[in-house]
Structure 1
Amino acid sequence: MNDLTSILSEPVARLGATTITLGHALAFGAVLFLGLFLALVIALWRSAKARAVAAAEAADHARDAEARMAGILASQAEMQGRMGAIADVFGARQAELTQSIGQRLDAMTGRLGQTMTEQTKSTHESLAKLQERLAVIDTAQGNIQSLAGQVVQLQAILSNKQTRGAFGQSRMEAIVADGLPHGAYEFQPTLSNGSRPDCLVKMPNGAPALAIDAKFPLEAWNAIRAADGADLQKVAAQAFRRDIEIHVRDIAEKYLIQGETQDIAFMFVPSESVFAEIHENFEAVVQRSHRSRIIIVSPSLLMLSIQVIQAILKDARMREQAHLIQGEVVRLMEDVARVDDRVRRLQTHFGQATKDIDDILVSTSKVTRRGQKIEALEFGTQPDGDAGPDAASRVPAAKLESGPRVADSKTGQLRLRVVEGDD
């Protein structure tokens, strides 16, 4: 043992100041071997654990893969079911769409046929109306041609002095007859000097009558319209001016009679265009006629003058009938006074009726209050053996109205309240 200890104590090597013995070396080798062994064991254990973990993870992955594969298969089956359902829905929808399109095409075809029928009918009606309008246009064209012939005839009529005078006379007579009452005018009368105006309008209140002449000279006017050059138009204008002045002088000499006719007379021009041309281009002639107290009037001015005369005549008739109107007004006021008196009497009757109704309402309110008080007493019959202290309060109303014959003092007080309510 000592030999072993000495052997182990023998120095093997020196490391600086440290002496390494065999025991130290053996101990170090044992420690180193033990460490290596432990490291190898730990490495083997870790390797086995790693393999176990890897195997577990592989198993888990395998299970996950199987689960995912099962899910994928289930999803695929579900997808196939859905695809089948979608295919069925699409098939049904396609059939419905085909049917709907077919129905709409049928309806559209029917509507198109109906529209075409209506359009054809409308076209036929339009063509018929067009033919009717063409017939009307043909008729109007015939009327226009007839009117053109009548205008030519009118021109031929106006070219004659006598027929032209008759045309102006007829227009003037139509205006006067339409505007004045019968008896307020006279056509072709004879004056005291033997002259005969075309119309004599009678004025009210004994005033002199108004003379109207309708024989306007148009020969020179037609010559002005027919003249081609300036010289010929000037000559025709002078002749027209001279004819008008002569005609104005004749009217003033024949129809202006002191005390028999008005101080003015009308010279009727049967054309508005001729009247406008005279006032525009022959101002001197117009002024000369005014100085001669002859008024040149067109159809519109004559109509306005006749309306003014009609108003004057109406006012004169109103003044003549003023006393009759006053008498009627007096009788009307008497009727109004009688109506007022009768209305006042009716108002008195209404007031009395209102008072009677108010009294009736007061009586009905009293009756209503009396009934309410009687209803509040709760009268009623009770057996004889069950008469108590409240028996007197349930006596019939007929007994309450008997007055002093009621013996119970409490019942007498209730009856007295009812009687007091009557007042």
Structure 2
Amino acid sequence: MMNGFDLASADFETLVLYVAGAVGLALVVLFLLLRNSAQKRAEQTEAVIAQHMGQMAQRVDQLATGQAHLDGNLQAQAQAQGQIGTLMEQRLGEVQVNMHENLAKVQRSTGENLASMQQKMTDTLATQQLQMQENLANMQLRTGHALNEMQEKLNASLSGNAKQTATSLTQLQERLQTIDKAQENITRLSGDVLSLQDILSNKQTRGAFGEIQLNDIVSKALPTDSYALQHTLSNGKRADCLIHLPNPPGPIVIDSKFPLEAYERMLASQTEAELKAGIQMFKTSVRKHISDISEKYIIDGETADGALMFLPSEAIYAELHSKFPDLVREGFDARVWIVSPTTCMATLNTMRAILKDARMREQAGAIRKELGLLHKDVDRLGTRVENLDRHFGQAAKDISEIKVSADKAGRRARRLDNFDFEELAPDETDKVVPLTKPDS
């Protein structure tokens, strides 16, 4: 076994030697290959470098040729610059001569223009001053006349209003005295209770009696221009009396055609059945009359929203309120108010107060309107005075600016007289003299 192991070891060593020799041989071959490749690359690099060196030599030759041309061009440019300098000196001399001549001309023309302008401005200022003085005098005269006329109108208007107010108060006092006397007469006559059956024998007499009594009461309580008798409404119905009250409530109608037949029948009843039938007939007649008044005399947009039903007898009025309050309430619901001679007079007195107050308001409105117009006139006058003052201020400002302009023009003229061209030089426009292209 030892011999076999030794043989195996010897074979392994031999194998290792072979492998090492093969590796060494491979390395030698690889070295030779790398060396050949490096030599080829070096040869290629030398060829490229030689080519570049040849190109650089050509470029150096070209640069030398360009340098020679550049030297020639520089000499030509030096000659051209000399010629340009000579031309510039000549042109500068000509420009200086022209500038002196132009400045002399400008000085002469400016002096003449300034003298003429100063004379014209002096004449214009004198003329404008005279015109302004005349305008101011005329405006003062017109303003004085306008103020005097306005004062006279105001005095006349105030005196006229005072006279009218005094006259109205006197008339109102007289009417109040007349109404007081009429009320005393009515109060005295109201104590005399007469039988309606004796006085009113038929229907026409009863209607005439109611109208006459209503006319008498209304004529004593109200001015004649505040009511109309037998006035026809837009629906064709004729009202016994129409009171022209202002809105609200508006014109209100008074009807004097009360149905007395039912009342007389109720009074003339002897038995309980007749009394009951008379009461029913009276209620029906009154309800119908209330309904007729509401339908005929209450017109939207034309009359007030209510009407008055005039009863020519205090007895009927008292009977109606004491025994038939339901009819009175129905009248209220239908906006028909029942009045007797006494309550009608009180109602008319209230209406008279309303009319008086309305007329006083109308007069007050007219006075306020006149005062408003007067205030507007005064404001307008103040505005016009302010405008006039502003115009005066603007004129004074214009004169001041004209003086400033004249002073500036004078200073410039004096500077020109003193040949102060250094201050005028910035105002002059620089003139550029074109240079001719030198001959190449």
TM-score range, shorter chain: 0.3 to 0.5
Structure exhibiting the larger radius of gyration computed from Cα positions: 1
Greater relative CO (CA pairs within 8 A, separation 6+): 2
